[in-house]
Structure 1
Amino acid sequence: MIKPKNLLYFSALPLIYVLFKLNVEPIVLCLIISVMAGLATLNYIPQVEKRFKKVGLYGADLNKKNKPVLAEGMGVIAATFYLIATILFIPLIFNKNAGKKHILGRFPYEKFGEYLSALLSLQSMVFLGFADDVLNLRWRFKLILPTIASIPILMVYYVSFGVTHVIVPRPFRDLLGVSIDLNAFYYVYIGMMSVFCTNSINILAGINGVEVIQSIVISVCIIINNLLHILYSKNETVYYHSLSLCLMIPFLSVSLALYQWNKYPARVFVGDTYCYFAGMAFACVGILGHFSKTLLLFFLLQILNFIYSLPQLFRIVPCPRHRMPAFTKLHYTSDAQIPNTLRSIPEIGSLSSKKKHPASLFLSASDSQSSNTDSLIQHSPETSSSSSPETPRQTIKPVRKRSQSPSINSSTPPTAPPAHLPRTPVLPTGLLIPSKTPLENCSPLGLRIISLFEFLNLVRVWRDPKSNKMLYVSNFTVLNLYLVWFGPMHERDLTRLVMYSQIALSFLAFFIRYTMSSIFYEDVFK
């Protein structure tokens, strides 16, 4: 028996068929199908969530106090409905009865292979990405999988376009000419762009919603860029941007639906499947739409994160498998004071940093896995306004002087703290702090890079207070960098900060594309 909520999808098919027969603008039909794909993604994810857990596709959300277990790899659901929607587009955008007045009626039959190559590459990437979620492949395969998935679009590009020349910027035309033919190097460039787009989203991940929200912002920028070219550009470029528009509208729809389940507090994980799927979708529209350079402008945040991560990606600095921010359970109250004796206890403050934010002492304690740290946290019957009603207020009680006894759990009442000491900041429980990596096997070159980054305030370094030897360093990701700069932060706020950064850099990308590009190239719309 058909469920009532599924009747919406079946009733939409006759509507689309009637509008198609009435020769309605194909973009309207694409919008309807895209909305239906988004609604299907939104409704189907909770139905398969338990099934994924049952077969072992689940993971713990480490940035939550109770470590909830969530279904993994839900990006495959969004990708599946995306592929269904784009396949249903075929009779609409390649319809021979579409009038010339239609924007999307310009698609010639000889371009049908290009569209299918994009779908084939996307389908291959979804399959390989889901295999990565299931098999938990090593990092080196993350470079191989996008290369394999990009083969269909590269082969079709070779037999259809065969255009491998690029326009030379004006300052170099006297030396190189107006254009230069890259030959095989152009296909290497396209393949490398596919690898970069997929992995750049994958390495800027680790907290709820961050993979999806950055993809949503990029897709909106691509859609705006396509519309500007369709409305104001030359006729021969309308087809390429129309094709890109048809591929991006359903992607935005299913991503918005997926974000409702992945945003904080996440109820599902998107997995590597979505990161690969999103990156390949962007690579396909950039290749088929002939705006790969503009596409890279929309990846400014990902490029900065990649450059910042290079010391760890090339193993110059030790790189753990997961570099996500760390979660601290400590709770700080406005009336707690820290005596000087607490700073001298090795079990609590054994690591020091040259550049500390206001709560660096407590953060070092939260990083420690020693049971002595937990013994300092006492529960009060009062509740804090910044925490949930179920979370008791926690205070850090002062300990006795170390000269009296080295034991933290002593029953002797602690001495009162000096009145001149500053009060601790108000920090709710469940904040994120920069995750750290041990430096036992770090190369001399890596240590020099860490010292330089520390001087530039790009990393946080934990040192031995006696020998001043570097013991740990914060991981080289933008997420950890924001925590180094702005201190402990709630997971929701960190995701929003990434979103705001993506939006701000997107404005910069549009400014460069439509204002500064005329310095090096011809006018955009001429």
Structure 2
Amino acid sequence: MKYADPLLFSIILSIVVSFIVTYLATKWTIVEAKKKGFVGTDVNKLEKNQVPVLGGIGIVAGFIAGSFTYLVSEIDFGRTMFNSLFIERTVVSVLLSSLIIGFLGLLDDIFNLRQSIRAFLPIFASVPLAIYSIGHSTISIPFFGLVNFGVFFYIIILPATLTITSNAFNMLEGLNGLGAGMGLIMASALAFIGLRSTGPTFHAGVLALILVFVLLAFLLFNIYPAKVFPGNIGTYFIGSVIGSIGIAGFMYTALFFLYIPYVIEFILKAKTKFKGVSFGKVSPEGYLYWDGKPNSLTHVIMRIGKFKEYQIVIILWSLELVFAIMAVIFQTVIIRI
């Protein structure tokens, strides 16, 4: 990092707050979800245990706490060394857009919304990011170079990007720790890119780092065997935060590579008219298998060999790590150019 010690203190304070709040809020959610009957069946286990859902509440709480801590602790220092407008606009635009999507996920958890509503609401969620991005309608597209989309950037590109990043992330879920771990890897890549940059990209990188520690805390409860599920509020929120950070930090090339597994997942799910699932069937030995046509990346792995749930998750994490490395390499080249 290129900046002074007060900024480093702000970042450290923010990630500590985000970790602690996520940890405590998730513990609270587990207890309350059990009391209120917000539970789901862990279908990838022989025992078919009932596990609390809505764990994403802890993720939302932790990210909000960490982001506001960064905003409040950094703002005075920012006015003397940087343009504080970068900090305010980056944090506020990411938070507003992500919270709208998180609200969509909460409604979906409770009311099981129609697919049309899930696809429509992100259009409104993109408004804060569109306002923030005014004057920045040029995108560097991998293998094509710089392209200026003009007004179409604000009315088509931004809403489409946020819709894809939030909805697609929600599709590849269903195994203990899968979504949170994938999100952690993606956020780590964005943090690495952002923290080596300046201006809005740097502050977007700080938000990505906050998300990393939020997901680390959540994984303590969500990793195999899971004590809580993120629910749609969690998966939608993680996907929207990653998308919003990529947009606010102008890291579109990184988003392109990070979401390649999700594009594959989208294609597989589209073949089933989005009625496909990601979980599998459990053999008496505890291996997951799928004997029908694959409608998820998880099924593809199940068809390759005999794997237990946590092994499939590790394979998908490894796959995402490869694309995360590619995202860092290609985005770094663009920043230097």
Q: TM-score, normalised by structure 1?
A: 0.59
Q: Tell me the CA shift for residue 111 of structure 1.
A: 6.0
Q: Tell me the CA shift for residue 200 of structure 1.
A: 1.7
Unaligned runs of 5+ in 2: none
Match of 2:281 among 312, 326, 334: 326
Q: Tell me the CA shift for residue 209 of structure 1.
A: 0.6
Structure 2 CA distance, aligned partners of 1:242 and 1:502?
23
Deviations 1:44-86 (A, max 9, x none): 4233313112222111111111111111011111211210221
1:209–1:259: 8 Å Cα contact kept in structure 2? yes
Deviations 1:145-203 (A, max 9, x none): 3233223322343xxx233244688978xxxxx75443224431111110111122111
Structure 2 CA distance, aligned partners of 1:167 and 1:75?
33
Whether 1:247 aligns to 2:247 is no
1:83–1:123: 8 Å Cα contact kept in structure 2? no
| Amino acid in the other structure paired with 2:304 | W
| Amino acid in the other structure paired with 1:484 | R
Deviations 1:89-148 (A, max 9, x none): 223332157653xxxxx1333763443222211222222211111112233332123233
Whether 1:306 aligns to 2:266 is yes
Q: Equivalent residues in 2 for 1:243-322 (5 A)?
A: 243-312=203-272, 315=273, 320=275, 322=277
* Structure 2 CA distance for partners of 1:132 and 1:120, relative to 1, 3 Å: same
SS of 2:107's equivalent?
A: helix
Unaligned runs of 5+ in 1: 1-22, 101-105, 173-177, 231-237, 330-428, 437-472, 518-522
In the alignment, which residue of structure 2 is the partner of 1:217? 185
Match of 1:86 among 67, 76, 79: 67
* Structure 2 CA distance for partners of 1:139 and 1:180, relative to 1, 3 Å: closer
In the alignment, which residue of structure 1 is the partner of 2:54? 73
Whether 1:483 aligns to 2:294 is no
Q: Equivalent residues in 2 for 1:147-296 (5 A)?
A: 147-157=123-133, 161-166=134-139, 180-228=148-196, 230=197, 238-296=198-256
1:93–1:107: 8 Å Cα contact kept in structure 2? no
SS of 1:94's equivalent?
A: helix
SS of 2:282's equivalent?
A: strand
Structure 1 CA distance, aligned partners of 2:215 and 2:87?
27
Structure 2 CA distance, aligned partners of 1:167 and 1:511?
14
SS of 1:304's equivalent?
A: helix
* Structure 2 CA distance for partners of 1:494 and 1:167, relative to 1, 3 Å: closer
Structure 1 CA distance, aligned partners of 2:171 and 2:249?
26
Structure 2 CA distance, aligned partners of 1:275 and 1:498?
16
Percent identity reads: 19
Q: How much is the aligned-residue C-alpha RMSD, in angstroms?
A: 2.5
Structure 2 CA distance, aligned partners of 1:168 and 1:48?
41
In the alignment, which residue of structure 1 is the partner of 2:95? 119
In the alignment, which residue of structure 1 is the partner of 2:30? 49
Structure 1 CA distance, aligned partners of 2:244 and 2:170?
17
| Amino acid in the other structure paired with 1:324 | F
In the alignment, which residue of structure 2 is the partner of 1:33? 14
Q: Tell me the CA shift for residue 524 of structure 1.
A: 3.9
* Structure 2 CA distance for partners of 1:152 and 1:42, relative to 1, 3 Å: same
1:165–1:183: 8 Å Cα contact kept in structure 2? no
1:286–1:292: 8 Å Cα contact kept in structure 2? yes
Deviations 1:260-308 (A, max 9, x none): 1111111111111111111111121111111212221122222222234
SS of 1:140's equivalent?
A: helix
SS of 2:288's equivalent?
A: strand
Higher RCO (CA-CA < 8 Å; seq separation 6+):
2
SS of 2:114's equivalent?
A: coil
| Amino acid in the other structure paired with 1:525 | R
* Structure 2 CA distance for partners of 1:166 and 1:325, relative to 1, 3 Å: same
In the alignment, which residue of structure 2 is the partner of 1:95? 76
Structure 2 CA distance, aligned partners of 1:258 and 1:126?
16
Structure 2 CA distance, aligned partners of 1:96 and 1:227?
17
Which range moved further: 121-130 or 495-504?
A: 121-130
Query: More helix per residue: 1 or 2?
Result: 2
Structure exhibiting the larger radius of gyration computed from Cα positions: 1
1:121–1:150: 8 Å Cα contact kept in structure 2? yes
| Amino acid in the other structure paired with 2:22 | T
Which range moved further: 117-126 or 107-116?
A: 107-116
1:38–1:257: 8 Å Cα contact kept in structure 2? yes
SS of 1:182's equivalent?
A: coil
Structure 2 CA distance, aligned partners of 1:180 and 1:292?
13
1:72–1:269: 8 Å Cα contact kept in structure 2? yes
Q: Equivalent residues in 2 for 1:103-114 (5 A)?
A: 106-109=82-85, 112-114=88-90
Structure 1 CA distance, aligned partners of 2:141 and 2:44?
48
Structure 2 CA distance, aligned partners of 1:171 and 1:489?
39
In the alignment, which residue of structure 2 is the partner of 1:525? 336
Structure 2 CA distance, aligned partners of 1:44 and 1:169?
40
| Amino acid in the other structure paired with 1:191 | P
Whether 1:141 aligns to 2:132 is no
Structure 1 CA distance, aligned partners of 2:261 and 2:297?
9
